[in-house]
Amino acid sequence: MSVTIPQLRAFAAVVDHRSFSVAAVALGVSQSAVSHAISTLEREISGPLLVRSSGVTPTALGAQLIPRARTVLAAVDALEASVREHSGEHSGTVRLAAVPTVCQGLLPGLLQLWSARLPRVDVQVFEGDDEELPEWLDSGLVDAAILVDPKDRDKRSRLVASDVFRALVRRDHPLAAQAEIPLAELIEDGLISSTGGCEEQVRRIHELAGIRYAATQRVRELGTLLSLVRQGLGVGVMPSLGEAMLPAELVLVPLTPRLQRELVICGPASRPWHPLAEALVDSLDGPSPETTRRAGELLLA
């Protein structure tokens, strides 16, 4: 069996984009080249990898092989980056994952910092929830991630920011003008919780308050949470970085008990770090530019 790197790149791109044409654009090749690469790969392994219908999806075999393909591609990308680094050049693409509140509240400042300090490094952002990010790191879908309160931290990881959880209410809510809102008073209006992120920390706040956690509504997407609170169907709890996502009708108010979360940038635990992931972490040393300090004033020196 003779499997090539271009075949694996085409396979991963089609799975990621669910489209041959979009994958071709992402790879900078023709659609026929992508189709040929997939077809020859399927012949090499003697089985179909993709279901070719509206919205291309992996077959059972494809789903089994894509994590291994990503691991191989991550190793190849890291090798190429290591060669460039040996010649004194930080260049190439590094894939970074983060949760929605970090993507909107912190990453814009970080991307400006990295653009200034690593001008030849292209940081591709992948947005996911708390449960997805560690899996993406392990599978090789991403090279680095900003994790929320990671339990096991690699010595090379870096605490980039911390923020506190606040009450999410409408601006015309009776409690919106208070200096802080006790959790017991907040949840009287019905708590809407997002299972796609921070639910573990919301449960912890309930434990600190000695209150049983019982959300009246549990939704996956943070956008759905914001929409329901905006319509007056309940209240929420979210980190202060999420303020960048709020529509004009909503406001974040300090909450008691107070709980802080830590945001840590790290690489995979199961394989060597991508050199450019290490470069992202190393570049955070030293004074931060004003553009990054304005990202909620959360970036740590």
Q: What pLDDT band is residue 215 in, cutting at 50, 70 and 90?
A: very high
Structure tokens at 57: 């999806």
Q: What pLDDT band is residue 174 in, cutting at 50, 70 and 90?
A: very high
52 vs 289 pLDDT, higher one = 52
pLDDT tens track for 260-280: 999 999 998 878 888 889 899
**In the CATH hierarchy, which fold is given to the domain comprising 93-181+238-301?**
D-Maltodextrin-Binding Protein; domain 2 (3.40.190)
Long-range interactions of 182-187: CB distance < 8 A, separation 24+: 182/209, 182/255, 182/256, 183/209, 183/211, 183/237, 183/255, 183/256, 183/257, 184/209, 184/211, 186/235, 186/237, 186/255, 187/211, 187/235
Give the mean pLDDT of 274-287. 85
pLDDT tens track for 221-247: 888 999 999 999 999 999 999 998 899
CB 77 within 8 A of CB 83: no
Q: What pLDDT band is residue 21 in, cutting at 50, 70 and 90?
A: very high
Please tell me the distance from the alpha carbon of residue 129 to that of residue 194, in angstroms, as a whole number. Answer: 10
Report DSSP letters for 76-131, one per residue.
HHHHHHHHHHHTT---EEEEEEE-HHHHHHTHHHHHHHHHHH-TTEEEEEEE--TT
Please tell me the distance from the alpha carbon of residue 119 to that of residue 91, in angstroms, as a whole number. Answer: 8
pLDDT at 87: 66
Return the SS3 of 294. Answer: coil
Give the mean pLDDT of 61-65. 92
Chain CA centroid to CA 286, Å? 25
pLDDT tens track for 147-169: 999 887 778 899 999 999 999 99
Highest mean pLDDT of the ranges 53-67, 134-148, 203-217:
203-217
Give the mean pLDDT of 61-69. 90
Give the H/E segment covering residue 217. strand 217-219
Question: Would you say residue 297 has pLDDT above 60?
Answer: no
pLDDT tens track for 86-140: 666 677 888 999 998 999 899 999 999 999 999 989 898 999 888 889 888 888 8
pLDDT at 77: 79
Closest listed residue to residue 97, CA positions, set 275, 283, 271, 264: 264
pTM above 0.75, yes or no: no
pLDDT at 287: 53
Domain residue ranges of the chain, discontinuous segments joined by +: 1-89, 93-181+238-301
**In the CATH hierarchy, which fold is given to the domain comprising 1-89?**
Arc Repressor Mutant, subunit A (1.10.10)
pLDDT at 188: 94
Question: Would you say residue 291 has pLDDT above 50?
Answer: no
CB 241 within 8 A of CB 298: yes
Question: Would you say residue 14 has pLDDT above 70?
Answer: yes
Closest listed residue to residue 73, CA positions, set 27, 32, 115: 27
pLDDT at 286: 62
Determine the length of the chain. Answer: 301
Backbone torsion region of residue 123, taken as left when φ is above 0, otherwise alpha when ψ lies between -120 and 50, otherwise beta: beta
pLDDT at 296: 42
